[in-house]
Amino acid sequence: MSLFTRTTKELTVKIDEFFDTVEIGILIFKEGVKAYVNGDHDAFQNHLTRIDELENKADKLQRSIENDMMVHSILPQQRSEIVKLLWQLDEILDTSKSTLNEFYIEMPHIPHSLAQDFTSLAEVSGNAAEELMPAARAFFREPYAVREKLIKVYFFERETDKAAFQMKKKVFHEMNDLSLAEKAHIRYITHHIESISDTAQDAADLLASMAIRLML
């Protein structure tokens, strides 16, 4: 039996817990946007508190994992890339949290006709990040399966771009009743939601190259 099993098992649990935290955070983000757009302020407030807790937890786990990997010299050849991957996954949660915070602080006016578009945009952008998680988990158990799992990430990222483009076009070309400030505000919030899928795509690129290197 391995002499290092205990440390390894603890670290394995921490990594899985980190992935769970990010995954739940993404779900909370989608629900949060939906609650705001539908005007359910209590639910929105709850989601905001919850995502804040999750983000703190993920930060602590990320630091702890990095520390354990350094101290026990675990996976010396893949360590820097794994740390970078964890950082990017944490970035997704950070962006999700800051986007909900922007809704809370700036209280953007979302016209009723845009409610569905916003919900859909948050959904597809969140889906891109969500689909990243099985691929990230697969990297540790079956690196051969990573690439096929990443296909959905790229698909949802493209869908997010399309949805954001359509929405911005709709706001600036069709919704003449909105002031320029309101339009700019919506564009700004849209851009933030979009950036979640962009970060997911960056993480997917990294994950793909990590998996290839591991299989070589």
List residues binding another protein (CB under 8 A). Answer: 1-5, 7-9, 11-12, 15, 73-78, 139-144, 214, 216
Separation of alpha carbons 40 and 122, rounded Å: 16
Least separation in angstroms between CB 91 and another protein: 22
Find out whether 88 and 199 touch, Cβ atoms under 8 Å: yes
Find out whether 104 and 43 touch, Cβ atoms under 8 Å: no
In the bound state with another protein, the residue whose beta carbon lies nearer, of 15 and 121, is: 15
Q: What six digits make up the tokens of 18?
A: 């980190």
Q: What six digits make up the tokens of 66?
A: 């990095």
**CA separation, residue 26 to residues 44, 54, 81 (Å):** 14, 10, 23
In the bound state with another protein, the residue whose beta carbon lies nearer, of 79 and 158, is: 79
Burial class (CB in 10 A: 0-12, 13-18, 19+), 116: exposed
In the bound state with another protein, the residue whose beta carbon lies nearer, of 164 and 211, is: 211
List CB contacts of 123: < 8 A, sequence separation 6 or more.
30
In the bound state with another protein, the residue whose beta carbon lies nearer, of 128 and 138, is: 138
Least separation in angstroms between CB 140 and another protein: 4
In the bound state with another protein, the residue whose beta carbon lies nearer, of 77 and 176, is: 77
Least separation in angstroms between CB 74 and another protein: 6
Give residue 44's Cα distance to chain centre.
18
Least separation in angstroms between CB 138 and another protein: 9
Least separation in angstroms between CB 23 and another protein: 18
In the bound state with another protein, the residue whose beta carbon lies nearer, of 56 and 67, is: 67
Least separation in angstroms between CB 213 and another protein: 9
Separation of alpha carbons 15 and 140, rounded Å: 10
